[in-house]
Structure 1
Amino acid sequence: MPPQDTRQPLLVNREDEEEETAYASDEKVHIVRVDSGPEAETGAVPPFSWRKLWLFTGPGFLMSIAFLDPGNLEGDLQAGAIAGYSLLWLLMWATAMGLLVQLLSARLGVATGRHLAELCRDEYPTWARMVLWVMAELALIGADIQEVIGSAIAIKILSNGVLPLWAGVIITACDCFIFLFLENYGVRKLEALFAVLIATMAMSFAWMFADAKPSASELFVGLIVPKLSSKTIKQAVGVVGCIIMPHNVFLHSALVQSREIDNTKKSRVREALRYYSIESTAALVVSFIINLFVTTVFARGFYGTEIANSIGLVNAGQYLQEKYGGGLFPILYIWGIGLLAAGQSSTLTGTYAGQFIMGGFLNLRLKKWLRALITRSFAIIPTMIVALVFDSSEDTLDVLNEWLNVLQSVQIPFALIPLLCLVSKEQVMGCFKIGSSLKTVSWLVAALVIVINGYLLLDFFSNEVTGVAMTTVVSGFTAAYVAFVVYLVSRGISFASWCCPPKQVEGLQ
C-alpha cells in the first residue's frame, strides 16, 4: 500500500470538513474537575477554587491589552496634560463600561462555544455579513496602525534616533513570528508572554508615577468628583472612545474558548462565567491603574502649561525628560520601555483577533502561519507607507492619529449591536440569555458610547469637510451608515423581547 499523503492544504472548505473551532481540543487548557460531592448530583456550581481560578486566568489579561495600547496611552497623556486630574472619574467609569461589554462577549463565547464572528456569519444574510466583516477588518487595521506606529516610536526612542520610524515598523512586523512560535508551545506560554509585557508596562509607568510625585488629594478628588468643562470635552470623548475597541469584542468571545468547558452542563458554564468574571475584572483593574499612572504623570507635569496642547505620542518622551530630568535611569527610556511593551503586546493581540475575525466571517480554514501573514500584511503595508511619508513630521502624525480614532469610532456600532442582539436571543444563548434588567443597562451603555463617538465624528467632520463635493460624499456615507445601524438594531430587537421577561434565566445576571 502506498504511503498516505499527510500534507494539509493551505485552504480547506469547511463544508467538507468538521466545523472549525477557535481552538482545537488538544490546544485547550484542561480544567481540573472534582465530580464527587453533592454538586455532582444536583448540578450546582462547584465551590470556589483558587487552583481553578489560576487555570482560567489568561484570556481576560489578553483582552485587557486593548485598554493599554498606544492609542489609549496617547489619550491618557493628552487628557492629563490638558484636563489635569479632572477626567480621572470618567476614565474609571469608562473602564467599568468596557468591563460590562467584555463580560457580555465572554458570556457569548462560553455559553455557545462559538465566537462573535462565527455567530454573525449565521445570524445575518450574506450582504450584511460581508459589510460587518469589512467593518471589522477596517477597525482592526486602524487599531493596528496605531499600535505598530507606537512600537516604532518606542524603538526610535530606545535607539536614540538611530533607527527611523520605518525600521521600527519592520521590526514590529516580525512579532507575528514570535506569536506563531509561542503558540506552538501552548496557550499558557503565550499568556505568560503577555503577563510579562503587562508587568513591564506596570513597572515602567509606576516608576514614572513615583518620579512625578502627583498630588494625592487632587488625584482622589479627580476620581470621586465628576467634572467636565467645554475646554475638555474633546479629551473626555477621547477617554471614552479609546476604551471600547471593536476588534476586542470579537477577540474576547474567542479567547474564552481556550479552556476545556463542557457546554452541555449548565453548572460548568456558570462556573466558567464566574471565574472569567473575576479574572476579567482583575485584568481591567490593573489596566485602569496603569492608565491612571500615565494620566496623572502628565497632569502633574504639564497641566496649565503652554505646551500642554502640543504633547503627543511622538514628543511625549522628550517633554518628560525636560520636565523630570535624568535621575537614576532617564525617564525618557522608562517611557520608551513602557510604550514598546504596550505596542508589542497590542500588535500581537491584533494578529490574534485578525485570525478569528477572518476565519469566523469567511467560513475558511487557513493554516496559522498563512492567516498570521495575511493579517499582518493588512496592517503592515499601510503602516509602512505612513512611516515613510510621516517620519519627519510630528504634526502630521497627530493628524493621522485623529483620523484613525475616527475610523475606530465609526466601527463601534458594528461590534456592539450584534453582540447585544445575540446575547439577548434565546435561540442562541438558551437559558443564558441576559435578563431584561441587564439588557436595559447594556443597551444604555451602548447608546451612550455610540452617541459620544457620534459627537467625535460630528466635530471632526465639521472641521475637516469643506466643499460641495466632499460634503455630498460624506452626507451619502452618513445616510448609508445610519440605515445599516438601524437595520442591525431592528433585526435583533423586537418589542416583545422587551415587554416579555424570559421564562428561565440562569447564570450570570
Structure 2
Amino acid sequence: MQPEDNQVPLLSDQDSDDDVAQGSGEKIHVIRMNEPGAEGSLGAVPPFSWKRLWLFTGPGFLMSIAFLDPGNLEGDLQAGAIAGYSLLWLLMWATAMGLLVQLLAARLGVVTGKHLAELCSEEYPTWAGMVLWVMTELALIGADIQEVIGSAIAIKILSNGTFPLWAGVLITACDCFIFLFLENYGVRKLEAFFAVLIATMAISFAWMFGETKPSGTELLLGILVPKLSSKTIKQAVGVVGCIIMPHNVFLHSALVQSREIDRNKKARVQEALNYYSIESAAALIVSFIINLFVTTVFAKAFYNTEIASSIGLVNAGQYLEEKYGGGLIPILYIWAIGLLAAGQSSTITGTYAGQFIMVGFLKLRLKKWLRALITRSCAIIPTIIVALIFDTSERTLDVLNEWLNVLQSIQIPFALIPLLCLVSKEQIMGAFKIGNVLKTVAWLVTVLVIVINGYLLLDFFSSVVTGLVFTSMVSAFTGAYLAFIIYLVSQGRHIKSRD
C-alpha cells in the first residue's frame, strides 16, 4: 500500500471547525504552489530551506513543555541535590530516548493524518479503546495536578504568601481562557506564547546558574562519564521515568497536523517528517539545557549537605535564598518565575492534550469552550481538593507527588505499546512504516522505560502495601495490568487498517 492511500480528506464545508480538536481553517498552509524546484527532481524531496523549517517550527516546542513541567523540575533538583553532577549523562540519554518516542508519534500523525487517540479508537476493540482512554485520562489528570500545584506554589512565593495554595490553583485554572483566547487568533499566536514561556524558563534558570556558578569541569564529566551508585538509584529512576509522559505522546501526534501538507505525494510527507525531526530535536536540546541548569544549580548548592534529601518544589526556593541571598533580584523570586512559567505552560498544553484525547477516543463533537472547560475541570476539581488538604504540610505534598509519579508510571505502556504497534504496520503507515533496526531500537527503549518504571512501582508498593486486604487488591490489579499489556502487544500484531 502506498502513502497516497493514507490521505485523510480535510473537513468538508458542512463540518464545523469549532466542533473538532483542530479544524481545517486552523491549519497552516505549507503546500508548495508553483514554487521553483517545488517537486524536486523526479519527485525527490526538495533541498533544505530555512523558510520551510520556520513554517514547520512550533509543534516540537509545544511538545517539549512536558520535559520542563514542575514534575521534571522536582526530579532535576532532587537528582542534583542527592546525586550531584553524576546523573547528567542519564538526563542526556533519557532526553534522547524521549526524542525517539516523540519522533515516532510525529511520524504517525504526519503520515496518517490522524492522531494516536483516533487510531487507538479505530484499530482496537471498543472495550480496549475505553480502557486505554481511562488510563490516558488518569495519566493526564495526575500530570495536571502536579503542574497546577507547581504553578500554585510559584504564585504563593511571588505573592509572599498572600495567595494560599488553593487560591493559586484557582488562578491557574483561568489559563484555559488564555488558551481559548490565543487559539482563536491562530496556531502561530499560541506557539509564540509558548515560546515566550520557554524563554522565561531559560532566562530564569540560566540566571540561577550564573548566580550559583556550578563547576564547568564537573558538569562536563557528569555528561560524558556514566556513573551510578546504589545511593542514587531512586534518583536515576526518577530522571528516566519523568521524561516520557503518556499524554505527550498523544499530543505530539496531533500537533503535527497543524500544518496542511499534501499526503498524496510521498516527497511532501518525507519533507514534513524531515523538518519536524529537526525542530523537535532543537526543542529538546533547549529543554535538556534548561534541565541541566536546574540539576547543576542544586548540585552545586546542596550536594553532600544535610538538607539534600529534604528539598522539594515547596522549599527549594527558600533554601536557595538562605544560601545565596539577594542580589539584583532575590534568587527566590527568580526560581518562582521559572517555576510559574513551567507550571502555566504545562497546564495549558495539558488542556490541549485533553481535548485531542477526548475527541479521539470518544468521538465527541463539542464547542471549544465547553471542551476546554470539561478538560480543565477534570484536573482542577481534584487539584483544589488536594490543595485544601495538603496546603499546610510540605511532607504530605511530597507523598502526594510520589503517588502521582506512580500513577503516571503505570500508564506509560498504554501510550508506547499502541504507538509502536501502529508505526510498524504497513497497513497503517504504507511506505513510511519503521524499518527493522528502528523498530528494534524503539522496542528496546520501550522495554527499558517500562522496566525502570516497574522498578519504581515495586520499590514504592513494597514500602506502602501492608495488610492482607490491601495486598490482595494490589496483586489482583497487578495481574489484570500485566494481562492487558500482554493483550496490547499481541493485538498489535493483528492490527489492520479499516479504511
TM-score normalised by L of structure 2: 0.95
Contact 1:53/1:279 (CA < 8 Å) preserved in 2? yes
- What aligned pairs does 1:446-457 form with structure 2 within 5 A after superposition? 446-457=446-457
Structure 1 residues 41 and 297, CA, compared in 2 at 3 Å: closer, same or farther? closer
Residue matched to 2:195:
195
Residue matched to 1:324:
324
Structure 1 residues 401 and 38, CA, compared in 2 at 3 Å: closer, same or farther? closer
Please give the per-residue CA displacement for 1:315-366, whole angstroms capped at 9, x wherever unaligned.
Answer: 0000000111111110000000000000000000000000000000001111
- SS at 2:338's partner residue? helix
Residue matched to 1:205:
205
Runs of 5+ unmatched residues, structure 2 = 1-11
- Distance of 2:350 and 2:162 partners within structure 1: 27
- Distance of 1:319 and 1:231 partners within structure 2: 23
- C-alpha displacement at 1:78, in angstroms? 0.1
Residue matched to 1:423:
423
Contact 2:16/2:23 (CA < 8 Å) preserved in 1? no
- Distance of 1:335 and 1:71 partners within structure 2: 15
- C-alpha displacement at 1:39, in angstroms? 3.3
- What aligned pairs does 1:466-505 form with structure 2 within 5 A after superposition? 466-493=466-493
- Distance of 1:322 and 1:134 partners within structure 2: 44
Residue matched to 2:215:
215
- Distance of 1:46 and 1:260 partners within structure 2: 17
- What aligned pairs does 1:308-319 form with structure 2 within 5 A after superposition? 308-319=308-319
Residue matched to 2:23:
24
Residue matched to 2:437:
437
Contact 2:31/2:260 (CA < 8 Å) preserved in 1? no
Q: What is the identity, as a one-letter code, of the residue corresponding to 2:44?
A: A
- SS at 1:166's partner residue? helix
- What aligned pairs does 1:351-366 form with structure 2 within 5 A after superposition? 351-366=351-366
Q: What is the identity, as a one-letter code, of the residue corresponding to 1:27?
A: E
- C-alpha displacement at 1:25, in angstroms? 1.6
The reply to whether residue 384 of structure 1 matches residue 384 of structure 2 is yes
What is the percent sequence identity of the aligned residues?
Answer: 81
Please give the per-residue CA displacement for 1:204-235, whole angstroms capped at 9, x wherever unaligned.
Answer: 00000001101111111100111000010000
Q: What is the identity, as a one-letter code, of the residue corresponding to 2:472?
A: T
Contact 1:90/1:236 (CA < 8 Å) preserved in 2? yes
- C-alpha displacement at 1:167, in angstroms? 0.4
Contact 1:69/1:343 (CA < 8 Å) preserved in 2? yes
Q: What is the identity, as a one-letter code, of the residue corresponding to 1:84?
A: G
- SS at 2:147's partner residue? helix
The reply to whether residue 161 of structure 1 matches residue 161 of structure 2 is yes
- Distance of 2:38 and 2:180 partners within structure 1: 43
Please give the per-residue CA displacement for 1:25-78, whole angstroms capped at 9, x wherever unaligned.
Answer: 211112162544383561111111101101100000000000000000000000
Residue matched to 2:252:
252
- What aligned pairs does 1:6-405 form with structure 2 within 5 A after superposition? 22-31=21-30, 33=32, 34-37=34-37, 39-40=39-40, 42-405=42-405
- C-alpha displacement at 1:263, in angstroms? 1.1
Contact 2:31/2:261 (CA < 8 Å) preserved in 1? no
Please give the per-residue CA displacement for 1:71-91, whole angstroms capped at 9, x wherever unaligned.
Answer: 000000000000000000000
Q: What is the identity, as a one-letter code, of the residue corresponding to 2:250?
A: F
- Distance of 1:38 and 1:314 partners within structure 2: 54
- Distance of 2:21 and 2:142 partners within structure 1: 24
- Distance of 1:379 and 1:24 partners within structure 2: 25
Runs of 5+ unmatched residues, structure 1 = 1-13, 498-509
- Distance of 2:447 and 2:157 partners within structure 1: 40
Contact 1:172/1:344 (CA < 8 Å) preserved in 2? yes
- Distance of 2:65 and 2:304 partners within structure 1: 31
- Distance of 2:175 and 2:267 partners within structure 1: 39
- SS at 1:47's partner residue? coil
- SS at 2:260's partner residue? coil
- C-alpha displacement at 1:411, in angstroms? 0.2
TM-score normalised by L of structure 1: 0.93
- Distance of 1:275 and 1:21 partners within structure 2: 26
Q: What is the identity, as a one-letter code, of the residue corresponding to 1:252?
A: H
Please give the per-residue CA displacement for 1:395-415, whole angstroms capped at 9, x wherever unaligned.
Answer: 000000000000000000000
- Distance of 1:96 and 1:275 partners within structure 2: 18
Q: What is the identity, as a one-letter code, of the residue corresponding to 2:30?
A: I
- Distance of 1:304 and 1:36 partners within structure 2: 62
Contact 1:156/1:165 (CA < 8 Å) preserved in 2? yes
Contact 1:22/1:115 (CA < 8 Å) preserved in 2? no
Contact 2:215/2:300 (CA < 8 Å) preserved in 1? yes
- Distance of 1:39 and 1:400 partners within structure 2: 55
- C-alpha displacement at 1:24, in angstroms? 1.6
- C-alpha displacement at 1:21, in angstroms? 6.2
- SS at 1:315's partner residue? helix
Please give the per-residue CA displacement for 1:78-133, whole angstroms capped at 9, x wherever unaligned.
Answer: 00000000000000000000000000000000000000000000110010000000
- Distance of 1:128 and 1:161 partners within structure 2: 46
- C-alpha displacement at 1:384, in angstroms? 0.1
Please give the per-residue CA displacement for 1:415-471, whole angstroms capped at 9, x wherever unaligned.
Answer: 000000000011110110000000000000000000000000000000011000000
Contact 2:26/2:187 (CA < 8 Å) preserved in 1? yes
Please give the per-residue CA displacement for 1:139-193, whole angstroms capped at 9, x wherever unaligned.
Answer: 0000000000000000000001111000000000000000000000000000000
Q: What is the identity, as a one-letter code, of the residue corresponding to 1:111?
A: V
- SS at 2:289's partner residue? helix
Q: What is the identity, as a one-letter code, of the residue corresponding to 1:447?
A: V
Q: Which runs of 4+ in 1 moved over 6 A?
A: 16-21
Q: What is the identity, as a one-letter code, of the residue corresponding to 1:294?
A: V
- SS at 1:262's partner residue? coil
- Distance of 2:37 and 2:145 partners within structure 1: 52
Q: What is the identity, as a one-letter code, of the residue corresponding to 2:392?
A: S
- Distance of 1:36 and 1:236 partners within structure 2: 51
- C-alpha displacement at 1:260, in angstroms? 1.1
Contact 1:251/1:356 (CA < 8 Å) preserved in 2? yes
Q: What is the identity, as a one-letter code, of the residue corresponding to 2:23?
A: A
- Distance of 2:242 and 2:90 partners within structure 1: 12
Contact 1:111/1:263 (CA < 8 Å) preserved in 2? yes
- Distance of 1:427 and 1:365 partners within structure 2: 28
- Distance of 1:38 and 1:125 partners within structure 2: 42
- SS at 1:243's partner residue? coil
Contact 2:107/2:253 (CA < 8 Å) preserved in 1? yes
- C-alpha displacement at 1:17, in angstroms? 6.3
